[in-house]
Amino acid sequence: MTQSKETNDSVALMIERLLSGPARPARAFSMPGGNYDGLYRTARRIKALFNSDKENNAPVCLCSDDRTLMAAALLASLAGGPELLIPHALSATALLELHQLTGCARAIGMPGNLLPTGVTVIDPEALTDEVETLTSDEAPDPDRPWVHLFTGGSTGAPQLWSKTPRNLLGEVDYLVKLFEIGSDDRILSSVPALHIYGLLYSLLVPLAASARVVAGTPSFPEEIKQKMADTSPTIFVSVPVHYRALRENPPNRGSLRLAFSSAGRLAEADDTAFSKATGVDLVEIYGATETGGIATRCRSKGVRSLTPYNCIQWRVAADSLDIRSSFLSAELPVRNSGWFTVADRVKAHGRDGFVVTGRADHIVKVGGNRVDLEKVRQAIVGVDGVDDALVLANPVDSGRKLQIDALVVGSNSAAGVTAALDKVLEPHEKPRRMRMVNHIPMTATGKIDRRAIEKITGRRPD
């Protein structure tokens, strides 16, 4: 790819620039909170600790959602320190799962009461020694593992996805240039930086652009609106579930110039409502933890299809999307040719884009018949009085046979929805169990909360 050398050069330059020190030391990084000078001082102290224990280079768990501390630890790791493990949540359950999967023995940041027995806590506030500079005679390797993002727990089977500086900083470089993000920007995120999307947009992007980021991670509509009023962000980073919550009572535009949505499908009605109320372009990002960003869409500009990043290669073969990208995690089954097939089913749209039609792993067999779970979901949300739905293929009596279950949000009744589905679905496609709920359980990052769903249905989602 012609873009590869450009990405390689830009990543090397970004690493050199990040490790050389802050461009604007007195500028606040976190609002409220410390400035860039304090951030780098913490990074140098963490690096001094790592240097004092060079023989113990095992990965260290980053147990904090404080973006300043996270940024400092990332810089210390980038400067030759150990790799960092980032949990999907700061909970005893998530940290235990991560410990069981990796055996990590050290953690930076939080009190030890949530950490498993035997894990040593590194308190950054207790560190006093610091190295003079993060740079060294030996240039950092942009292709060595830098961080490992843990996506286990409520979002599915435990999984660690490794990310190199090239994976993360290559995407950061692309985003900063594409959206012209600079030192005058102030970023408000309702997504924790523990998530790949929050890590990129609300930690690494502002760090690379010498921008400011609002402290904390608001999640409720009134909390988001209050943070906007208090901090006058220019960029808002959020997820579909929060745009849905803001639809009836959107925030004022204020200083906002741009908004992003990722980590799931953004409903067109929610997209339109936010853009119309604020007059701000809402950019939908398509991608995943393991793939990095793949494509964007801005419906307010009349774009219907997803437009791939121009720094990756892509193709649609039958109903599959193949990509070649420097953002792919090493654990993915990339073919020798460099192509990786994304789990979604797609179709080409226009000359330069595609649309997602469903998930390849959402095709299941029920009683020997093929069932498209997304087709069933679309049929349910098309019924009058239905606002949202989640369709699951669950095992019957712990066996290999599956049945279709559904959680439905709306004013209609289960009987009413079932009667309406008789007209549009085949018998084997219709949910065998349907439960009306107030909302579809979601995690803080906008993903389906599988543990909560299991409690509601009494079954583990497939």
1-15, 145-159, 199-213, 310-324 — which one is most confidently predicted on average? Answer: 199-213
pLDDT at 187: 98
Least confident among 24-28, 148-152, 161-165, 276-280:
148-152
State residue 394's pLDDT score: 78
The CATH superfamily assigned to 367-457 is: ANL, C-terminal domain (3.30.300.30)
pLDDT bucket at 4, cuts 50 / 70 / 90: very low
Higher pLDDT, 426 or 108: 108
Residue 408's pLDDT is 93
Half-sphere exposure of 199 (CA within 13 A, CB side): 27
Give domain limits for the chain: 2-354, 367-457
Q: Name every residue whose Cβ is closer than 8 Å to that of residue 399 and which is 6 or more positions away in sequence.
A: none
In this predicted structure, which of 52-56, 189-193, 363-367 has the lowest mean pLDDT? 363-367
Closest CA to 459 of 410, 392, 411: 392
- pTM of the predicted model over 0.85: no
- What is the per-residue pLDDT across 323-341, written as a single tens digit (0 to 9) for each? 999 999 999 999 999 999 9
Output the pLDDT for position 359.
73
Q: Enumerate residues 6+ apart whose C-beta is below 8 A from 395.
A: 401, 402, 459, 460, 462
Q: What is the pLDDT of residues 295-309, one digit of tens each?
A: 999 999 988 899 999
How high is the mean pLDDT of the chain?
Answer: 89
Q: Token digits for 188?
A: 């408000």
Among the residue ranges 1-5, 29-33, 128-132, 371-375, the one predicted with the least confidence is 1-5
Q: Per residue in 97-136, pLDDT tens?
A: 899 999 999 999 876 678 888 899 999 999 999 999 999 8
Query: Are 249 and 273 in contact, with CB atoms under 8 Å apart?
Result: no
According to the model, what pLDDT value does residue 462 have?
A: 47
Position 380 scores a pLDDT of: 93
Residue 226 pLDDT greater than 60, yes or no: yes
Closest of 38, 51, 112 to residue 82, by C-alpha: 51
Q: How confident is the model at residue 397 (pLDDT cuts 50, 70, 90)?
A: low
Residue 388: pLDDT band with limits 50, 70, 90: confident
pLDDT in tens, 234-265: 999 999 989 999 998 899 999 999 999 998 88
C-beta atoms surrounding 171 within 10 Å? 27
Q: Residue 53: which residues within 8 A CB-CB, separation 6 or more?
A: none
For 198-225, the pLDDT digits (tens) are: 999 999 999 999 999 999 999 899 999 9
Domain 2-354 class, CATH top level: alpha beta
40-49, 127-136, 310-319, 362-371: least confidently modelled range: 362-371
* Reported confidence tier of residue 427, pLDDT bands at 50, 70, 90: confident
Per-residue pLDDT tens over the stretch 267-294: 899 999 999 999 999 999 999 999 999 9
- d(Cα 138, Cα 3) in Å, to the nearest integer? 26
Considering just the CA atoms, what is the radius of gyration of the chain in Å? 23
When pLDDT is cut at 50, 70 and 90, the band that residue 155 belongs to is very low
Tokens of 252: 């004022």
Give the pLDDT score at 31: 92
* pLDDT over threshold 90, residue 402: no
User: Could you give the CA distance from residue 22 to residue 99 in angstroms, rounded to a whole number?
Assistant: 34
Dist. CA 453–CA 433, nearest whole Å? 14
Same topology between domain 2-354 and domain 367-457: no
- Pairwise pLDDT comparison (378 vs 1), residue with the higher score: 378
Tokens of 118: 């035997």
- pLDDT above 70 (res 353): yes
Asked if residue 57 lies in contact with residue 82, where contact means CB atoms within 8 angstroms, the answer is yes
Residue 2's pLDDT band (cuts 50, 70, 90): very low
With a CB cutoff of 8 Å and minimum separation 6, the contacts of 318 are none
pLDDT for res 157? 61
Instruction: Report whether pLDDT(74) > 60.
Output: yes
Task: Find out whether the peptide bond into 32 is cis, omega within 30 degrees of 0.
Answer: yes
The pLDDT, as a whole number, for residue 228 is 95
CB 228 within 8 A of CB 214: no
Both structure tokens of 1 = 């790819």
Q: Do residues 171 and 327 touch, judged by C-beta distance below 8 A?
A: yes
Per-residue confidence (pLDDT) for residue 158, from 0 to 100:
66
User: What is the reported pLDDT for 153?
Assistant: 41
Q: Are 197 and 191 in contact (CB under 8 A)?
A: yes
